[in-house]
Structure 1
């Protein structure tokens, strides 16, 4: 795939204290195969679905042995410029920008509400080689207790347009680039335990949502939500055995009417 436009999700990775355990789990749940670990880059290991790079796992660096979590990267034309916008919008840079050989330039950041994300300026590594195919990334949502901060921050950094879902039960917003929705924003309710930090929930495509949930729970994962039918597909929220949240979705099993969205840009 060609490099994604600025602001579009372009890559996902996660740190795991037990990389081999993560390989076994995601290999069976999502059908991933794994490349060779790159010792030169901290044993960074790419995952492949049908031979296409779709994500990566890596052991934690010293001092970062916290609970595992998926990190979503957004495409940038110039990581230095994006880093400046992050700071100007009240975000915090956690790492970089730094060049990763000729693969590209990356940085890690945190929004004012505590959501961690990455920025990737593509070089030789363009990012996802597949999207919305079995085993590949499909969608993502910012889960935050402070939606008003996210609603200002992300459009300021990535020039998103925003639409609010007209639903009295949930506070949900979609950020778009032109006509393409690229990111959701969900307000965390009291259903989330207070010790669960804000995060970006990454959705991976599966051929059968219920079968993926069954495999995940048999392997020690925890079902957080669903499976449930939506106009976007049948999906479920999961936590892997090492504590990383993610979702699975069968986009071929969409049911119901699309929600009404109101422009709030």
Structure 2
């Protein structure tokens, strides 16, 4: 279990989930990942932070009653200047839907979407640098943008965040790894016609688990759904699941663990 240093711009640094019922959601993720919860930050409305031990892993907030939005996990990318990054997003053809706004002394954030409509956040860290632990079961393990094709959207993320793009040369896969320096931090997956029409382009959070098959069974027992059963691939053993409110995420026992 390691605690990452402060993130360089573009590095995924936090994940959050907006839901209709905080109680149901806390019960689900607490049982699935062993998280416990504490309130905060209240400047952003009713929300909690999920903890492993005493280390923060993710945020969960309650959707306002008048917002009919589908629950979904949001990936936040680190920024040294949220206002400057927000302007670069607009200039690059993306949209800034919320902010930038101050979250007390924790930091400054904005909720944005890329030119394909995939939603993500930007986070300028203050007292809260982001996810405080990596590698252990129950922590974010990887971040993947599922989109129709990677070429145009890859240029957007490279321009805004300075990523190095590392495409997989393959006749049957459209996959690009995003690197910050020499470090791979996320990927773009061009799904073509296989992209779910009901969701469109979206960022997917992967969470580490000790046993993918057992965790998938637990998801079902806790009121969630298994959307793609466990299978082995280059990343490890993965399954795509949804929580009781329908928020989709991937569970993985990473290769080499």
Could you say if the C-alpha distance between residues 21 and 63 of structure 1 is closer, same or farther in structure 2, counting changes exceeding 3 Å? same
TM superposition shift of 1:39: 4.5
The CA deviation at 1:61 is: 2.7
Report the Cα distance in structure 1 between the residues aligned to 2:100 and 2:43, rounded to whole angstroms.
19
Change (3 A) 1:37 1:10: closer
Q: Give CA deviations for 1:146-174 in whole Å, capped at 9, x if unaligned.
A: 43331111111110111111333221111
1:5-16 pair list within 5 angstroms? 5-16=8-19
CA distance in 2, matches of 1:88, 1:39: 31
For residue 62 of structure 1, report the CA deviation from its aligned partner. Answer: 4.6
1:99 aligns with 2:106: no
| Greater displacement, 58-67 / 242-251 | 58-67
Q: Give the Cα separation in 2 of the matches to 1:184 and 1:96.
A: 26
Q: Work out whether 1:45 is the aligned partner of 2:84.
A: no
TM-score by length of 2: 0.93
Q: CA deviation at 1:192?
A: 4.0
1:246 pairs, out of 220, 244, 249, with: 249
Q: Which whole-Å deviations, capped at 9, do the CAs of 1:102-161 have from their partners, x for residues lacking one?
A: 111101111000000000000011101011211111101001124333111111111011
CA contact (8 A) 2:41 2:103 kept: no
2:77 to 74, 78, 82: 74
Task: Supply the distance in 2 between the matched residues of 1:168 and 1:222 (Cα, whole angstroms).
Answer: 32
Greater Cα shift, 104-113 or 185-194: 185-194
Unaligned runs of 5+ in 1: 255-265
Q: CA deviation at 1:48?
A: 0.7
CA contact (8 A) 2:148 2:195 kept: no
Q: Kindly indicate whether residue 150 of structure 2 is the aligned counterpart of residue 147 of structure 1.
A: yes
RMSD across aligned positions (CA): 1.7
CA distance in 2, matches of 1:148, 1:61: 36
The correspondence for 2:131, drawn from 125, 128, 140, is 128
3-state SS, counterpart of residue 249 of structure 2: strand
Partner of 2:209: 206
For the residue of structure 1 that corresponds to 2:9, the secondary structure is coil
1:33-86 Cα deviation digits (max 9, x unpaired): 111355553111000123210001000135433110000101101111111111
SS at match of 2:194: coil
TM-score by length of 1: 0.90
CA distance in 2, matches of 1:63, 1:146: 34
Which deviates more from structure 2 when the two are superposed, residues 201-210 or residues 57-66? 57-66
Residues 1:89 and 2:92 aligned together: yes
How is 1:250-261 mapped onto 2 (pairs within 5 angstroms)?
250-251=253-254
Indicate yes or no: 2:194 matched with 1:182: no
Residue in 2 that maps onto 1:162? 165
Count matched residues: 254
**What CA deviation, in whole Å up to 9, does each residue of 1:190-209 have, x standing for no partner?**
33442222210001111111
Distance 1:193 1:129 in 2: 32
The Cα shift of 1:233 comes to 1.8
Stretch moving more, 30-39 or 11-20: 30-39
> CA offsets per residue over residues 230-250 of structure 1, 9 Å max, x none?
233211111222111101111
Report SS of the residue matched to 1:85.
helix
Q: Does 1:118 align with 2:121?
A: yes
Contact 1:17–1:65 under 8 Å retained in 2: no
